[in-house]
């Protein structure tokens, strides 16, 4: 099995493929001022197996197009949507987030948890903004420095992995420059990483390695995940995901 297939195999049975929680998604819905009293067309970009897509459809009675480029994740999402009686509201779309097939000004809301980094924050804002109606809502979580000073080793790590990591004030300015008015921000609480993402990951590691007969490639993935967890356990007070909620304005 190649590395991508192994990664898919490791993550497809998880409830979420990144840090987050139902409470955080709810908080972002509230900050966005979304109530579900009007019909809403929402795109959830980089939806994974669909934790937030399912919640948005349920909470807002919205039509959600859930986009990811991994069909195995979308298949899981479809199963869950069916089990929850939400299939009529959720359309799974296999597409790359840099080539989305939406019409200009067709969406009320663009949602994306733990995924815009695949394009880079600013490029994501630039590419996705045209799909939103004027006044439409953007809600994204993005890697953020929580302090202005931090251990050098940590700065070096994220500068190498994701050079766009920055303080919330910088991300807010980027939103403004890209034609959005920020209307809310909060840092994802620790349990979004530890209880909801890393612990379930640790629980899956043993069976994953067993399933792949401790292959070198599987061990390398396990090692990388362990290192990521260790980094967060050690330095999680300095970085994490910020949730940014903004409105599209004239630019
Ligand atoms: N929003 C989900 C998943 C976050 S993980 C959650 O919070 O649980 C990031 C997701 O982005 C993965 O599901 C991955 O398959 C998807 N992804 C990464 N690059 C992508 C791209 N270029 N186009 C579409 N999806 C992509």
Using the mean position of ligand 1's atoms as its centre, give its distance from the Cα of residue 20 in Å.
13
21 lines ligand 1 (CB under 6 A): no
Rounded distance between C-alpha atoms, residue 154 and residue 3, angstroms? 26
Ligand 1 lined by 128 (C-beta under 6 Å): no
Query: Counting atoms of ligand 1 from 1, which one is nearest the CA of 14?
Result: 8
Angle at 130 between CA 125 and CA 131, to 5 degrees: 100
The proportion of the chain whose per-residue pLDDT surpasses 90, expressed as a percent, equals: 99
Cα torsion 73, 165, 226, 54: sign: negative
| Centroid of ligand 1 to alpha carbon of 100 (angstroms) | 14
Q: Please tell me if the CB atom of residue 70 comes closer than 6 angstroms to any atom of ligand 1.
A: yes
Is 238 touching ligand 1 by the criterion CB < 6 Å?
A: no
Residue 232: the pLDDT is 97
Report the nearest atom of ligand 1 relative to the CA of 70: 15
The reply to whether ligand 1 has any atom less than 6 angstroms from the CB of 18 is: yes
Q: Is 124 in the pocket of ligand 1 (CB under 6 A)?
A: no
Asked whether 41 and 108 are in contact (CB, 8 A), the reply is yes
DSSP the chain: --HHHHHHHHHTTSS-SSS--HHHHHHHHHHHT--SSS--EEEEET-TT-HHHHHHHHHH--EEEEEES-HHHHHHHHHHHHHTT-TTTEEEEE--TTS--PPTT-EEEEEESS-GGGT-HHHHHHHHGGGEEEEEEEEEEEEEESSS---HHHHHHHHHH-TT-EEHHHHHHHHHHTTEEEEEEEEPPHHHHIIIIIHHHHHHHHHHHHHTTT-HHHHHHHHHHHHHHHHHHHHTTTEEEEEEEEEE---
What's the 3-state SS for 210-229?
A: HHCCCCHHHHHHHHHHHHHH
Tell me, what's the pLDDT at 251? Answer: 83
Tens digits of residue pLDDT in 169-216: 999 999 999 999 999 999 999 999 999 999 999 999 999 999 999 999
> Is 51 near ligand 1, meaning CB less than 6 Å away?
yes
CB atoms within 10 A of CB 194: 16
Query: Ligand 1 in contact with 94 (CB < 6 A)?
Result: no
Q: What is the pLDDT of residues 21-61, one digit of tens each?
A: 999 999 999 999 999 899 999 999 999 999 999 999 999 99
**Is 16 close to ligand 1, i.e. is its CB under 6 Å away?**
yes
* Contact between residue 64 and residue 90 where contact means Cβ atoms under 8 Å apart: yes
Q: Whose CA is nearest to atom 23 of ligand 1?
A: 96
Residue nearest to atom 16 of ligand 1 (CA): 46
Inform me whether the pLDDT recorded for 1 exceeds 90: no
Residue 62 banded pLDDT, cuts 50, 70, 90 = very high
Ligand 1 near 17 CB (within 6 A) = yes
Burial 107-124 (b: 16+ CB within 10 A, else e): bbbbbbbbbbbebebeeb
Atom in ligand 1 nearest the alpha carbon of residue 51: 8
To the question of pTM greater than 0.95 for the whole model, the response is yes
160-181 pLDDT per residue, tens: 999 999 999 999 999 999 999 9
């Amino acid at each position: 099995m190649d590395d991508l297939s192994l990664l898919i195999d490791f993550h497809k049975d998880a409830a979420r493929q990144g840090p987050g929680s139902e409470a955080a998604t709810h908080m972002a819905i509230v900050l966005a001022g979304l109530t579900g009293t009007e019909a809403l067309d929402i795109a959830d970009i980089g939806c994974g197996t669909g934790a937030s897509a399912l919640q948005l459809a349920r909470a807002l009675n919205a039509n959600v197009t859930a986009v990811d480029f991994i069909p195995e994740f979308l298949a899981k999402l479809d199963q869950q949507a069916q089990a929850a009686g939400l299939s009529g509201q959720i359309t799974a779309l296999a597409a790359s987030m840099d080539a989305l097939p939406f019409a200009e000004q067709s969406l009320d809301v663009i949602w994306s948890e733990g995924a815009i980094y695949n394009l880079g924050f600013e490029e994501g804002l630039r590419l996705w903004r045209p799909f939103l109606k004027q006044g439409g809502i953007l809600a994204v979580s993005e890697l953020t420095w929580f302090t202005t000073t931090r251990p050098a080793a940590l700065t070096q790590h994220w500068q190498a992995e994701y050079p766009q990591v920055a303080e919330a004030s910088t991300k807010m300015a980027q939103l403004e420059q890209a034609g959005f008015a920020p209307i809310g921000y909060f840092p994802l609480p620790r349990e979004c990483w530890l209880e909801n993402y890393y612990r379930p990951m640790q629980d899956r590691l043993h069976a994953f390695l067993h399933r792949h007969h401790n292959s070198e490639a599987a061990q390398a993935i396990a090692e990388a995940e362990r290192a990521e967890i260790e980094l967060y356990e050690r330095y999680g007070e300095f970085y994490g995901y910020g949730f940014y909620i903004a409105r599209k304005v004239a630019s």
